[in-house]
């Protein structure tokens, strides 16, 4: 039986169903990418005519086309690699080799999943290297050296091992010994991990990759602290991150909870914006916190995890699912990997809802910033400058936005902010 299942097309209906959904998922994203390329136009939108030089705008179009084309190539490469490993008997060979070690179920599972994840990561490293030192460098964004790039990968691997192995071990052990309640115990474990990482990451993980320093005294710090007090937001300082060490792109973000929370400005952002614009950007980030967007998304993520684990518990030891990947004997660790592919359509639909909610949150945070600062124009100008500096796509196709973007198109955000400004003037 092992010989007949060692390689080739899926041997049962489970495999064909998984293949069908993978093909549909791939095709929809390739269609969206193609439509996004066609939606680009050489015409600078009126909202950006005072911000974009024609040559700079042509550079933005070239950058977007390059990244989209490369993304299509990566998607094709991922699909071909998966099919080659699947149909070439890779899962069967890996299963046979790990079983031959005659280790405990836990050790066997960790090795099996570790190799699958490691192979995928190794496959992506040359692609990531080209994206960084090819595309990003060609358009003036990359600031990292090869040494920094390699060090980041080694640090990321170390963090993944330290955090991932205990979490994965817990999941495997619960499914091995906790019976019908295993998914509930796994849900509790993963939920605690998700919450805990919000406190650990700002203090221990992020500083491994970047340097964070308090914002220096001056007009910007005074304005930010004054605004925070005006909305009742407890803030002792703002952190400045050395983003320019790796990329010329600009950004700001909020992370963590309680005394571990951080509002972070990239050093590149500070250099390119006025005090009013920077206050508006941080008002947007504070808006996410004040409106409980971060908490809501985390709760929804935890609920989604519960759904995933429950559905996984129904099929994780299915012999039919294992056979779909040419593995003759089911196991918890192999079932976990195979379920990740079976779950594709559910993940796709939940992802659409999550992206839609995220875009609504962005509009709400924009509105919060405009109302609490008393003006929408500084945030509008900041969005314009950020889009120009980051060579953003000003005309994304609606299908591409639906599938991929957690933020609304910048022209729509500007229009919404202008409507707020107009309504305030009327009142």
Annotated catalytic residues are 285, 366
Cα(349)–Cα(370) distance, integer angstroms? 32
Cα(64)–Cα(355) distance, integer angstroms? 21
Contact 240, 215 (CB under 8 A): yes
Cα(62)–Cα(85) distance, integer angstroms? 34
Cα(379)–Cα(278) distance, integer angstroms? 8
Contact 340, 199 (CB under 8 A): no
Cα(218)–Cα(224) distance, integer angstroms? 10
Owner of token pair 């972070």: 264
CA dist list (Å): 256 to 169, 202, 390, 406, 421: 26, 6, 26, 19, 32
Contact 194, 294 (CB under 8 A): no
Candidates 418, 302, 389, 404; CA nearest to 359 is 404
How many Å is the Cα radius of gyration of the chain? 24
Angle between helices 219-230 and 344-373 (to 10 degrees): 100
Cα(49)–Cα(45) distance, integer angstroms? 6
Candidates 167, 193, 171; CA nearest to 182 is 171
């Amino acid at each position: 039986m092992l010989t007949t299942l060692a390689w080739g097309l899926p041997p049962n209906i489970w495999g064909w169903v998984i293949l069908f959904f993978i093909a549909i998922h791939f095709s929809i994203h390739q269609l969206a990418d193609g439509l996004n390329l066609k939606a680009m136009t050489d015409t600078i939108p009126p909202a950006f005519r005072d911000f974009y030089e024609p040559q700079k705008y042509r550079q933005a179009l070239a950058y977007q086309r390059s990244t989209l084309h490369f993304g299509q190539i990566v998607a094709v490469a991922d699909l071909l690699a998966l099919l080659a490993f699947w149909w070439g008997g890779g899962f069967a060979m890996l299963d046979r080799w790990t079983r031959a070690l005659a280790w405990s179920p836990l050790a066997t599972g960790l090795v099996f999943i570790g190799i699958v994840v490691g192979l995928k990561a190794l496959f992506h490293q040359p692609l990531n290297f080209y994206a960084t030192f090819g595309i990003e460098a060609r358009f003036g964004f990359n600031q990292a050296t090869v040494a920094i790039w390699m060090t980041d990968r080694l640090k990321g691997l170390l963090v993944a091992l330290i955090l991932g192995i205990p979490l994965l071990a817990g999941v495997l052990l619960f499914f091995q010994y906790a019976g019908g309640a295993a998914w509930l115990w796994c849900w509790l474990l993963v939920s605690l991990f998700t919450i805990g990482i919000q406190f650990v990451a700002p203090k221990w993980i992020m500083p491994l990759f970047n340097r964070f320093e308090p914002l220096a005294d001056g007009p910007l710090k005074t304005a930010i602290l004054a605004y925070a007090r005006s909305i009742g937001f407890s803030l002792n300082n703002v952190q400045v991150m050395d983003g320019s060490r790796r990329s010329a792109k600009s950004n700001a973000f909020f992370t963590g909870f309680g005394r571990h929370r951080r509002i972070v400005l990239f050093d590149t952002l500070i250099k390119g914006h006025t005090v009013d614009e920077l206050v508006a950007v941080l008002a947007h980030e504070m808006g996410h916190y004040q409106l409980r967007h971060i908490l809501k998304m985390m709760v929804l993520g935890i609920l989604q995890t519960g759904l995933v684990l429950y559905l996984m518990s129904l099929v994780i030891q299915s012999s039919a699912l294992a056979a779909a990947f040419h593995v003759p004997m089911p196991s918890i660790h192999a079932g976990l990997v195979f379920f990740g592919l079976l779950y594709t359509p559910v993940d796709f639909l939940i992802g659409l809802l999550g992206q839609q909610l995220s875009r609504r949150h962005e509009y709400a945070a924009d509105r919060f910033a405009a109302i609490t600062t008393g003006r929408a124009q500084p945030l509008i100008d900041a969005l314009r400058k950020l889009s120009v500096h980051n060579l953003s796509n000003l005309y994304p196709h609606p299908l591409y936005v639906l599938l991929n973007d957690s933020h609304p198109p910048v022209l729509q955000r500007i229009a919404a902010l202008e409507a707020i400004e107009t309504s305030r003037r009327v009142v």
